[in-house]
Structure 1
Amino acid sequence: MNSFHSKLTLVYAPNEYGRQFVKLLLYKGWPVAALVSSGRQRRIHEGFGISCFIKLDTKDQDCSLKGGQIHDVYLFDNSVPLVCRYLKLFRPLVSGRIIVVTQNNSIPGLYRHLGADQLLHASLQPEELVSEFEENRLEKNGEEDASC
């Protein structure tokens, strides 16, 4: 792992586009944690080599994460209510950006109101999304190393 890598990036990738993004991050050596809500999602991500998981029951009112563990969050949208729930849970805990990647015309104002820093449309190739991720993270070098 390069010395400029820092805190974990949390990714909720319930669709193929999100999973391609995760695979590219792992290939490039970035520390990634997967947000999962089922055993099936966990098994899929384990197959990519992810060993750090955050399992959330979306009915819970709080999150088991402590502030400072996660730098950035990428939420790949497949359910507006679920993404909204994750935004409300993570905004107080995340020091970096929360990015929502959507394949449809979701409600951008709602996502921004709930704490999304950026909304991206899935028209970007996963490689372009990873390049944007790396540019942002390289600007933030000097932070603590990641741990799960």
Structure 2
Amino acid sequence: MSRAIQDDGLDQEAAGKVPPLPGFFFVAFFLHSEGELMEQRRILVAASHAAGRDFIRQALYKKLPVAALANNVREEKALRKIGVSEVVHVNTSSIKDNAAAPAFPIGRVFIFEASLPLTCRYLQWAAGCSCLAITVVTHARHPEVIYKKLGATYVVRTQTGEVGFLLSRLLE
């Protein structure tokens, strides 16, 4: 079938002149079911400082499913204190000793930069997981290329640490 005929058929179908194919309803249902599956995915946040914990509080307030990354017991206690029920432990001293991805599905990953080495370790771990996108929130300009090379989908630079606007995209 030539490209012109294909395009014409699509235009007629979009205009409502051609009845939709019988399989169309199945596809629409499948996409709807997949959307429901997406809601079960958790936002995974590495929040080693106050801006990251504020981000988690905002997500919990908006009733979004949240899990956190931690590399020590003290950090885990602080995260559980603000209401995080799932904490994934990442061994940042040796990336080879880390466990596989968590049992729950991961949606977006947000890593709040505490230091370049720690952020790189979290990125290496997250890049090995099946997730939708990895966002690194940083104050500095220089590590953007490094973070992108290690698997970051987005690098957001902020002076104040206020990135609550990122949650609005997750609510749509």
- What TM-score do the two structures reach when normalised by structure 2? 0.69
Q: In the TM superposition, what is the alpha-carbon distance from 1:66 to its structure 2 partner?
A: 5.0
1:52 and 2:94 are equivalent in the alignment: no
Do the aligned partners of residues 84 and 137 (structure 1) sit closer, same or farther apart at CA in structure 2, a change above 3 Å counting?
farther
Q: Which amino acid aligns with 1:109?
A: V
Is 4-13 or 23-32 further displaced after alignment? 4-13
Rg larger in 1 or in 2?
2
CA displacement 1:49-69 (0-9 Å, x = unmatched) = 111010111214143215872
Q: What is the aligned counterpart of 2:146 among 110, 116, 123? A: 110
Match of 2:42 in 1: 8
Deviates more, 1:104-113 or 1:10-19: 104-113
Work out which of the residue numbers 105, 114, 119 in structure 1 matches 2:155: 119
Gaps of at least 5 residues in structure 1 are 139-148
The equivalent of 1:78 in structure 2 is 114
Q: Which has the higher contact order (CA 8 A, sep 6+)?
A: 1
Greater fraction of residues in helix? 2
Partner of 1:101: 137
The residue that corresponds to 1:143 in the other structure is none
Asked if 2 retains the 8 angstrom alpha-carbon contact of 1:8 and 1:33, the reply is yes
Question: Structure 1 residues 67 and 50, CA, compared in 2 at 3 Å: closer, same or farther?
Answer: closer
The answer to whether the 8 Å contact 2:88/2:102 transfers is: no
Is this contact kept in 1: 2:90–2:122, CA < 8 A?
no
| Unaligned residue ranges in structure 2 (runs of 5+) | 1-35
State the distance in 2 between where 1:54 and 1:93 align.
12
Distance 2:161 2:74 in 1: 26
- Runs of 4+ aligned structure 1 residues displaced above 6 Å come to none
